[in-house]
Amino acid sequence: MKNKNGGNRGKLSNVNKKKLLICIGLIVIVIYAIYITIKLIKNPTDTVLIEKGEIYLEESTSGYIIRDETVIDGQNYGNGIIQIKSEGEKVAKGEAIFRYPADNEEELKNTIRELDETIQKALTNETTIFSSDIKLLDSQIEEKLNTIYELNNMQEIAEYKKNINTYITKKAKVAGNLSSSGSYMKQLVTKRNELENQLSRNSEYINSNRSGIVSYRVDGLETTLTTTDFSYLNSNFLKDLNLRTGQLISESGEKGKIIDNFKCYIAISSNSQEAKNANVGNTIKLRLANSQLVSAKIVHILDEGEQRLLVFEVEDGIQELIKYRKVSIDVIWWSNDGLKVPNSAIEYEGDVAYLIRVRAGKEEKILVKVLRQNSKYSIIDNYSSSELKELNYDISNATIKKSVSLYDEIKILQ
């Protein structure tokens, strides 16, 4: 028994020793981590890795939206309009866009609704109709009813309701010919058709006079900011419009317009060096307020002393811009990708740039080409042998021909 107890104590002692060693190891790791952190804070690392990346030069400004747009309206002002096509929907020439309601429209609609209820009740009482046409119409009505619950667009909902009413009317016509109460059903359907025709005759339908995008956001500048000739534009002209950046154009209750869906224009004023060096025909990128990047071509430039007015032609993001007349944009004058390094890692030997590469603690000077540079970073590349020779470097010297590559460690020099 004694030996047995002594063995247990030995085992417990070994376990305690292991726990002690683990605790000591953890303490050492924590102390070392604290030491490294303090060292980095006092003496931050003086090297970085070469990475693949992109640099660009951008300018944030406000742009004025100029569109090829045609206002459409009719004669029956005062009662508002009923939209047939939704905001932002594409239409063809000749399509009905909206209509002005009839003077007695509500009265006619109420009467039609009452007739629909009467027709439905009459159809419910019919139990001897088995026409395949009736079954098809029932199926179409059920399908439309199931879909309408998932919609949130008012114009689409209105269209579905109209379709359902059409199916019900067709069903009533078929049932009228088959049922014992056919003459009564025919009277109801005939009355409904007469009211619909009266409603249509008394309404003024406005059709599109061109293809494009429908909008009901009419601000009165459609004939002021035109696209045929930009010679009327200058910075003071745009400033005097007193437009707020990002303000939504209010929807009109009496008219609409058709917008060219292929392109629009954005005018800016800038005194940046990039704007001063820009030329008509140059292609740049714009970042819209929703972060969408779109290509843009410079189509007009006006020199105004210390600044320039530029007009960009844009073919993407047009529907996003319909709601605005003045927006915040970022003009991205240029962008380059490749081997990306901080400017603080670059030094010059005359006109030739170089980096200090660190490998296994050994430092080496590597000549590099700076392809593009912004305020913080550069895109670099290696020299070819022929380029080094043109710069009067001895290409037989292996050190001169060394090059950098992705993930090389380089020294911060500035």
Domain boundary among 202, 232, 256: 202
Residues 28 and 109 in one domain: no
Q: How far apart are CA 42 and CA 63, in angstroms?
A: 46
| Cross-strand partners of 100 | 204
Residues 193 and 108 in one domain: yes
Which string of b and e fits 196-210 if b means at least 16 CB within 10 Å? bebbeeebbebebee
| Cross-strand partners of 251 | 217
In a domain, 2, yes or no: yes
Domain boundary among 27, 44, 61: 44
CB-based burial label for 303 (10 Å; 0-12, 13-18, 19+): exposed
- Are the CB atoms for 208 and 91 separated by under 8 Å? yes
| pLDDT score of 152 | 56
Closest CA to 234 of 264, 265, 269, 266: 269
In a domain, 266, yes or no: no
Element (H, E) at 118: helix 105-124
The CATH number of whichever domain residue 352 belongs to comes to 2.40.420
Q: How far apart are CA 350 and CA 371, in angstroms?
A: 17
Residues 32 and 110 in one domain: no
CB-based burial label for 357 (10 Å; 0-12, 13-18, 19+): buried
Closest CA to 218 of 126, 316, 98, 96: 98
Q: How far apart are CA 308 and CA 276, in angstroms?
A: 7
| pLDDT score of 157 | 58
| pLDDT score of 89 | 92
Residues 106 and 196 in one domain: yes
Which string of b and e fits 38-56 if b means at least 16 CB within 10 Å? eeeeeeeeeeeebeeeebb
Which string of b and e fits 377-387 if b means at least 16 CB within 10 Å? bbbbebbeeee
Q: How far apart are CA 392 and CA 116, in angstroms?
A: 94
Residues 108 and 176 in one domain: yes
CB-based burial label for 90 (10 Å; 0-12, 13-18, 19+): middle
Q: How far apart are CA 89 and CA 111, in angstroms?
A: 32
Which domain, by its residues, includes 397? Answer: 339-411
Alpha-carbon dihedral 386, 387, 390, 391, rounded to 10 degrees: -140
Q: Mean pLDDT of residues grouped by 10 in the chain (414 residues)?
A: 52 65 78 62 71 94 97 83 90 92 77 77 61 62 63 56 64 58 71 75 85 95 95 96 95 93 96 96 94 95 96 94 96 95 93 92 92 94 93 87 92 86
DSSP string, 369-408: EEEEE-SSEEEEEEPPHHHHHHTT--TTSTTTT----TT-
Cα–Cα distances in angstroms (integers) from residue 334 to residues 55, 63, 283, 285, in the given order = 9, 18, 9, 8
Amino acid (one-letter) located at 386 = S
In a domain, 29, yes or no: yes
In a domain, 20, yes or no: yes
Q: How many CB atoms lie within 10 A of CB 175?
A: 23
In a domain, 230, yes or no: no
| pLDDT score of 263 | 95
| pLDDT score of 210 | 95
Residues 115 and 187 in one domain: yes
Q: How many domains does the chain have?
A: 3
| pLDDT score of 159 | 59
Domain boundary among 178, 202, 226: 202
What's the start-to-end Cα distance of the chain, in Å? 76
In a domain, 67, yes or no: no
Helix ranges, 255-384 (H): 273-277, 318-321
Rg (CA), the chain: 38
Helix ranges, 234-368 (H): 235-239, 273-277, 318-321
The conformation of residue 26, written as its DSSP 8-state character, comes to: H
Q: Which residues contact 75 (CB under 8 A, 6 or more apart)?
A: 100, 204
| pLDDT score of 42 | 47
In a domain, 95, yes or no: no
Amino acid (one-letter) located at 243 = L
In a domain, 84, yes or no: no
